[in-house]
């Protein structure tokens, strides 16, 4: 019944409706858009270097004559997947580890928190730098796993401390006295009550992952040229942002739209899950 | 000459919420004015407005004059001179009313020095005097203690000391004893009366407890939905209420001297201040409602000598001499079939045999070492027969909750035995334990905390069903909602859309989902307002009779226990002090602790309350980590104090166990010198006779 009620509340929420339609449009643009454009993302137009947007190249061209429309959409395909996956994995991991450590306590708590602290003190950038050469040639999904693996620890500590106080609530006790297994109590009673925090964390993670991926790509890990992502495009375009704004504005604008629509969905979901809101 | 004159006071909060809508009252010197009302009736907001302590954004209008000086709209500097000097306030929660980082003595001395030119030494000395006045032992030493080192009752005494530090003209007490146990409440009320005698101040006593008001107040103001609905001398209000709300309120309180049988509930719940009904705000719940009630809100009009009533039918009530029981429908609760069988022939659903629960007391951050033991529950035995309600009563810290948890966990106890429905909890395997959970359910105290706020009510009630593999949950959920008096459509709402009483009904529905045989009720009505409480108590009674349930009922309110329970066990410091049928224990208590407990409960009956003899206990509950040797109650026992030296030896050396009293079937007390005394109705006059 809860999922039905939450879904209904979600679709009744204006913000969420806008967010969902914006995200659907963006995904359509990323995957259908390239078929409409006149150029492929690998095509190079040697007659037009750094040309401004026009009827031929809708969003202009880059330094070696790539069509920015095709390239940006190609980058966005990757970035949407990376952003959403990293956010889901990182926040999910944070929720699971934090709530299990907080609810079970004892040695489970000790071991899990020891692991969290270890990951926190290790310089994640270094680890990724060491591991990524070994993953060369492997799927870029590995890269998603790596990014996610280093961005959940602080949230999981927050989740753990909130769980410690939720654990003492009478409704959790009531569930235990009903004979419900402990892992079910965590997923049914503890995680939903942390949802406000988790949703905010997840929406932040989406944009952090897209930007963070660009930083890593810059150092030669992650998405490698000639392949592109929104992050690499923004990093490149930002150098010439004043002289050739179209190199920067289109990828950056799409990133903003993407993050905005995810934020709207997040806010709507939070309201739908929170019975205190009057939507 | 009145000290405080309040006229047409209104308070509006942002969003158009009218919390107080026209309150007028006077307080004379040496007079106690009681303000009663349910939560949300605006009684606290009224006095905060007088003190100028409302949050910014609240709009106050009307007038409040102290000695003829207008308090409302006074600038902050002037207000500070009045606060704490001419008007003092005593708050409900004494822990949050003190700053934890300063000693109690310093804080009282500070209150003195703010308003009087006085040296530090002199102020400190005055603080010690004040602490002595409110009856704190070793005041010169205790003045150096910090708030957390004081018990709840001592903190409230210190709060009173601070409030009277500057000889105020007016004391405003906002639920001063609500957070305290009954025996401590009796002590604190006594201190409050002493303080009033010393200062001659007028007192405004705000409370929801009609018993407390009956004993203290000279005049009473009853508030409902932000307005006074009845005002007058205490005897008139209690014996001749002329407004249906007051009548219903008085009829709905369970009384410790009352008889068994259904209580008179007021249907519905108070209106939200944001959405008041047209006309009389009480009309939707009023059994005497006529069409005219919806036309306009009846004004508070003079009615006889010194009385005011806001009801268009008050003269009719006067004329016909109606009482709450005449006006409000008394529910009929079907009798139980089970109780016709004698108790000895019924099955035992729960048996505790010398159960023990101790907690280690640890110290140290890195290397924990055991420094002592908390004897939370130290060997208690009782049993519950089918269809019976056993109440476990006692003050906070006596081990009630620990006992409950031990039973609910269904784990082997540290010592003794817990037998639920004939199965020993120490010998259960996993599947048996889960199966047994279906027969043993719990209803919690705080209906807000006991329901997952993020779950629709339907899911909450269906949870135990699904946990035990029932598929057809939704039909059963609708059935359960109807059983507890809610509509099946409510299943899709969240708990926060319900009032406190409705939420408790949802909690009860969840507990009943699996058709348990034994229901554990952990203070199920103590968080509810009086008028709502009666409805829930009746529901519990009805369900018990209809479904043949047995209850283990944990409570600190002995009046509620009298109505609901068949048998009662009184706990003190982890042991049972007295056990027996309700009639035996209430009418002829044999243990000095039970006697003190019963005599400390205020009766909603002003005349009786005035002449009643109280057994006041000295001091606080000893720490369960260091209980006294022999009889645990001897340090506070009024009987121990009058025993001879030789008799006392036995109390010190030998721990009494529950012994059956002669010539009664079901009554036992753990006292070497048990003697039955009547205390509820005992009065000073009787003694003189």
The whole-number pLDDT of residue B34 equals 93
Q: Smallest Cβ distance to B494: which of A175, A193, A275?
A: A275
Separation of alpha carbons A62 and B203, rounded Å: 83
Mean pLDDT check: name the lowest of A169-183, B99-113, B329-343, B440-454.
B329-343
Which residues in chain A are contacts of B440 at CB distance < 8 A? Answer: 177
Residue A170 contacts B, CB cutoff 8 Å: yes
Quick one: what percent of chain B has pLDDT higher than 70?
97
| Ordered domains of chain A (ranges, CATH) | 2-38+62-273 (1.10.3720.10)
Separation of alpha carbons A158 and A161, rounded Å: 5
CATH match of B2-228 with 3.30.750.24: no
**Where is pLDDT greater, at B51 or A46?**
B51
**pLDDT per position as a tens digit, A234-248:** 877 777 778 788 888
Q: How many CB pairs under 8 A join A and B?
A: 71
Contact A179 B450 (CB under 8 A): no
Rg (CA), chain B: 26
The whole-number pLDDT of residue B687 equals 41
- Give the max Cα distance, chain B: 76
The whole-number pLDDT of residue B689 equals 35
CATH annotation of B338-439+518-565: 3.40.50.300
The whole-number pLDDT of residue B337 equals 73
Compute the average pLDDT of residues B370-375: 83
pLDDT grade for A218, boundaries at 50, 70 and 90: low
Strand order in the sheet with B389-393: B440-443, B518-522, B550-555, B389-393, B567-572, B575-581, B667-669, B659-660
The whole-number pLDDT of residue B438 equals 86
Tell which of B454, B470, B472, B475 to mutate to test the A interface (max A CBs under 10 Å): B454
Residue B450 contacts A, CB cutoff 8 Å: yes
The whole-number pLDDT of residue A136 equals 67
> Does residue B680 carry a pLDDT above 80?
no
Compute the average pLDDT of residues A209-220: 74
**pLDDT per position as a tens digit, B470-483:** 777 888 899 899 88
User: What are the Cα distances from residue B414, in Å, to B356, B359, B387, B418, B420?
Assistant: 6, 10, 29, 10, 16
pLDDT grade for B640, boundaries at 50, 70 and 90: confident
Which residues in chain B are contacts of A274 at CB distance < 8 A? Answer: 454
**pLDDT per position as a tens digit, A127-141:** 777 777 777 666 677
> What are the structure tokens assigned to B638, written together?
């009024």
Nearest to B641, CA basis, from B667, B619, B609:
B619
Can you give the residue ranges of every domain in chain B? 2-228, 240-327, 338-439+518-565, 449-515, 587-688
Quick one: what percent of chain B has pLDDT higher than 90?
13
Compute the average pLDDT of residues B434-450: 87
Residue A47 contacts B, CB cutoff 8 Å: no
The whole-number pLDDT of residue A160 equals 94
Tell which of B408, B435, B452, B552 to mutate to test the A interface (max A CBs under 10 Å): B452
Nearest to B571, CA basis, from B547, B546, B545, B552:
B552
Which residues in chain A are contacts of B459 at CB distance < 8 A? Answer: 1-2
Decide if B163 contacts B89 (C-beta within 8 A): yes
The whole-number pLDDT of residue B688 equals 39
Residue A7 contacts B, CB cutoff 8 Å: no
Contact A1 B495 (CB under 8 A): no
Contact B454 A169 (CB under 8 A): no
Measure in Å the smallest separation between the Cα of A267 and chain B Cα atoms. 16
Q: Smallest Cβ distance to B452: which of A1, A171, A276?
A: A171
Mean pLDDT check: name the lowest of A148-152, A252-256, B392-396, B469-473.
B469-473
Mean pLDDT check: name the lowest of B4-8, B274-278, B492-496, B648-652.
B274-278
Rg (CA), chain A: 22
The whole-number pLDDT of residue A235 equals 78
Contact B456 A2 (CB under 8 A): yes
Contact B453 A170 (CB under 8 A): no
**pLDDT per position as a tens digit, B172-208:** 998 888 778 888 888 888 888 888 888 888 999 998 8
The SS3 call for residue B276 is coil
Angle, in degrees to the nearest 10, between helices A230-239 and A246-273: 140
**pLDDT per position as a tens digit, B265-304:** 888 778 877 778 888 888 888 888 888 888 888 888 888 7
ipTM: 0.78
Separation of alpha carbons B328 and A39, rounded Å: 83
Which residues in chain B are contacts of A188 at CB distance < 8 A? Answer: 452, 455, 463
> Does residue B587 carry a pLDDT above 80?
yes
pLDDT grade for B341, boundaries at 50, 70 and 90: confident
The whole-number pLDDT of residue A190 equals 92
Separation of alpha carbons B571 and B375, rounded Å: 13
Handedness of CA B454, B459, B460, B466 (dihedral sign): negative
pLDDT grade for B686, boundaries at 50, 70 and 90: very low
- B441 sits in which H/E element: strand B440-443
The SS3 call for residue B405 is helix
Non-local CB neighbours of B608 within 8 Å, separated by 6+ positions: B257, B681, B683
Decide if B483 contacts B491 (C-beta within 8 A): no
User: What are the Cα distances from residue A68, in Å, to B206, B244, B671?
Assistant: 73, 79, 93
The SS3 call for residue B672 is coil
Average pLDDT score, chain A? 84
> Does residue A48 carry a pLDDT above 70?
yes
Which residues in chain A are contacts of B451 at CB distance < 8 A? Answer: 171
Separation of alpha carbons B154 and A160, rounded Å: 37
Separation of alpha carbons A108 and B245, rounded Å: 56
Separation of alpha carbons A69 and A50, rounded Å: 13
Compute the average pLDDT of residues B45-73: 87
pLDDT grade for B568, boundaries at 50, 70 and 90: very high
Decide if B566 contacts B583 (C-beta within 8 A): no
Q: Smallest Cβ distance to A177: which of B408, B449, B456?
A: B408
> Does residue B117 carry a pLDDT above 80?
yes
Compute the average pLDDT of residues B335-349: 80
Nearest to B180, CA basis, from B89, B92, B88, B90:
B92
Main-chain dihedrals φ then ψ at residue B393, nearest 5 degrees: -115, 160
Mean pLDDT check: name the lowest of A48-62, B388-402, B423-437, B566-580.
A48-62
Contact A273 B454 (CB under 8 A): yes
> Does residue A62 carry a pLDDT above 80?
no
> What are the structure tokens assigned to A163, written together?
């769980």
Q: B59-66 and B2-13 as β-strands: parallel, antiparallel, unpaired?
A: antiparallel
Mean pLDDT check: name the lowest of A220-234, B295-309, B548-562.
A220-234
**pLDDT per position as a tens digit, B35-58:** 998 887 888 888 888 888 888 888
Angle, in degrees to the nearest 10, between helices B473-483 and B457-467: 120
Contact B437 A179 (CB under 8 A): yes
Decide if B355 contacts B576 (C-beta within 8 A): no
Decide if B393 contacts B571 (C-beta within 8 A): yes
Average pLDDT score, chain B? 86
Separation of alpha carbons B550 and B439, rounded Å: 11
Separation of alpha carbons B37 and B433, rounded Å: 45
Nearest to B108, CA basis, from B90, B126, B85:
B126
Contact A193 B449 (CB under 8 A): no
- B362 sits in which H/E element: strand B348-363
Q: CA-CA-CA-CA torsion for A28, A31, A33, A34, nearest 10 degrees?
A: 180
The whole-number pLDDT of residue A276 equals 72
**pLDDT per position as a tens digit, A240-270:** 778 788 888 888 888 888 888 988 998 888 8
Separation of alpha carbons B252 and B266, rounded Å: 7
Main-chain dihedrals φ then ψ at residue A15, nearest 5 degrees: -55, -45
Q: Smallest Cβ distance to B452: which of A189, A195, A276?
A: A189
User: What are the Cα distances from residue A106, in Å, to A110, B70, B95, B289?
Assistant: 6, 61, 32, 61
pLDDT grade for B251, boundaries at 50, 70 and 90: confident
**pLDDT per position as a tens digit, B507-521:** 999 999 888 999 999
What region does B498 belong to: left with phi over 0, alpha with psi -120 to 50, or beta?
beta
Separation of alpha carbons B658 and B628, rounded Å: 18
> What are the structure tokens assigned to A166, written together?
């939720």
> Does residue B259 carry a pLDDT above 80?
no
Handedness of CA B662, B667, B669, B674 (dihedral sign): negative
Nearest to B586, CA basis, from B570, B573, B574:
B570
Decide if B64 contacts B70 (C-beta within 8 A): yes
Which residues in chain B are contacts of A173 at CB distance < 8 A? Answer: 444
pLDDT grade for A279, boundaries at 50, 70 and 90: very low
């Amino acid at each position: 019944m809860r999922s039905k009620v939450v879904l209904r509340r979600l679709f009744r929420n204006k913000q969420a409706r806008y967010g969902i339609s914006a995200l659907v449009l963006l995904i359509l643009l990323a995957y259908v858009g390239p078929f409409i454009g006149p150029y492929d993302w690998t095509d190079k137009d040697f007659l037009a270097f750094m040309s401004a947007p026009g009827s031929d190249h809708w969003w202009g061209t880059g330094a070696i004559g790539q069509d920015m429309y095709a390239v940006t959409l190609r980058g966005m395909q990757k970035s949407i997947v990376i952003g959403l996956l990293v956010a889901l994995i990182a926040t999910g991991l944070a929720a699971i580890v934090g709530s299990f450590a907080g609810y079970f306590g004892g040695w489970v708590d000790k071991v899990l928190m020891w692991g969290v602290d270890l990951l926190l003190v290790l310089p994640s950038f270094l680890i990724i730098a060491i591991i990524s050469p070994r993953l060369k040639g492997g799927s870029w999904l590995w890269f998603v796993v790596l990014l996610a693996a280093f961005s959940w620890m602080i949230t999981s500590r927050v989740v753990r401390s909130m769980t410690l106080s939720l654990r003492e609530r009478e409704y959790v006790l009531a569930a235990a006295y009903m004979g419900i297994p402990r892992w079910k109590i965590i997923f049914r009673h503890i995680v939903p009550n942390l949802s406000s925090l988790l949703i905010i964390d997840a929406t932040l993670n989406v944009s952090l992952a897209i930007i963070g991926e660009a930083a890593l790509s810059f150092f030669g890990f992650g998405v490698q040229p000639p392949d592109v992502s929104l992050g690499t495009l923004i990093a490149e375009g930002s150098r010439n942002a004043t002289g050739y704004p179209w190199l920067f504005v289109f990828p950056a604008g799409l990133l903003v739209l993407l993050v905005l629509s995810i934020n709207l969905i997040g806010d709507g979901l939070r309201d739908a899950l929170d019975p205190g809101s009057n939507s | 000459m009145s000290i405080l004159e309040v006229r047409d006071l209104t308070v509006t909060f942002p969003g158009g919420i009218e919390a107080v809508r026209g309150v007028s009252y006077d307080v004379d010197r040496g007079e106690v004015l009681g303000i009663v009302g349910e939560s949300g009736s605006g009684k606290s907001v009224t006095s905060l407005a007088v003190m100028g302590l409302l949050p910014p954004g609240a709009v106050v209008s009307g007038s409040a004059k102290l000695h003829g000086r207008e308090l409302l709209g006074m600038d902050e500097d002037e207000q500070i001179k009045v606060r704490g000097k001419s008007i003092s306030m005593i708050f409900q929660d004494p822990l949050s009313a003190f700053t934890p980082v300063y000693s109690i003595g310093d804080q009282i001395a500070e209150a003195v020095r703010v308003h009087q030119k006085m040296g530090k030494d002199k102020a400190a000395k005055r603080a010690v005097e004040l602490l002595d006045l409110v009856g704190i032992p070793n005041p010169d030493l205790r003045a150096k203690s910090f708030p957390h080192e004081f018990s709840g009752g001592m903190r409230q005494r210190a709060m009173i000391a601070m409030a009277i530090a500057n000889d105020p003209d007016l004391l405003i007490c906002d639920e001063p004893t609500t957070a305290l146990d009954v025996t401590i409440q009796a002590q604190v009320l006594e201190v409050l009366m002493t303080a009033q005698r010393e200062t001659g101040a007028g007192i405004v006593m705000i409370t929801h407890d009609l018993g407390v008001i009956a004993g203290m107040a000279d005049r009473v103001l009853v508030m409902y939905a932000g307005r006074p609905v009845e005002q007058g001398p205490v005897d008139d209000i209690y014996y001749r209420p002329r407004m249906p709300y007051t009548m219903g309120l008085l009829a709905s309180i369970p009384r410790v001297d009352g008889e068994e049988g259904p209580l008179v509930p007021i249907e519905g719940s108070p209106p939200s201040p944001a959405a008041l009904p047209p006309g009389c705000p009480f009309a939707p719940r009023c059994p005497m409602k006529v069409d005219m009630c919806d036309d306009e809100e009846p004004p508070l009009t003079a009615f006889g000598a010194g009385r005011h009533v806001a009801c268009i039918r008050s003269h009719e009530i006067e004329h016909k001499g109606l009482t709450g029981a005449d006006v409000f429908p008394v529910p009929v609760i079907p009798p139980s079939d089970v109780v016709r069988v004698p108790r000895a022939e019924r099955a035992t659903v729960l048996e505790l045999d010398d159960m023990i629960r101790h907690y280690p007391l640890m110290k140290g951050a890195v290397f924990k070492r055991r420094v002592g033991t908390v004897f939370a529950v130290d060997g208690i035995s009782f049993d519950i027969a089918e269809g019976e309600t056993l109440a476990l009563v006692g003050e906070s810290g006596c081990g009630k909750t620990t006992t409950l948890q031990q039973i609910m966990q269904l784990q082997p106890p540290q010592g003794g035995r817990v037998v639920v429905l004939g199965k020993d909890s120490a010998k259960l395997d996993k599947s048996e334990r889960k199966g047994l959970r279906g027969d043993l359910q719990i209803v919690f105290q705080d209906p807000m905390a006991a329901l997952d706020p993020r779950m629709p009510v339907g899911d909450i009630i269906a949870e135990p069903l699904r946990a035990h593999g029932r598929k057809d949950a939704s039909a059963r959920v609708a059935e359960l909602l109807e059983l507890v008096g809610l509509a099946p459509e409510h299943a899709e709402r969240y708990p926060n859309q319900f009032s406190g009483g409705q939420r408790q009904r949802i909690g009860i529905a969840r507990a009943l989902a699996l058709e348990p045989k034994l229901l554990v009720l952990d203070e199920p009505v103590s968080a509810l307002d009086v008028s709502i409480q009666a409805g829930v108590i009746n529901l519990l009674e009805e369900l018990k009779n209809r479904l043949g349930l047995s209850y283990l009922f944990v409570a600190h309110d002995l009046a509620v226990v009298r109505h609901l329970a068949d048998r009662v066990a009184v706990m003190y410091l982890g042991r049972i002090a007295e056990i027996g049928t309700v009639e035996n224990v209430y009418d002829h208590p044999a243990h000095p602790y039970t006697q003190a407990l019963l005599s400390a409960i205020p009766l909603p009956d002003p005349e009786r309350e005035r002449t009643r003899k109280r057994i006041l206990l000295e001091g606080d509950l000893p720490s369960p980590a260091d209980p006294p040797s022999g009889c645990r109650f001897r340090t506070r026992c009024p009987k121990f104090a009058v025993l001879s030296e030789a008799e006392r030896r036995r109390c010190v050396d030998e721990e009494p166990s529950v012994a059956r009293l002669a010539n009664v079937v079901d009554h036992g007390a753990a006292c070497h010198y048990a003697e039955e005394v009547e205390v509820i109705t005992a009065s000073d006059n009787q003694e003189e006779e």
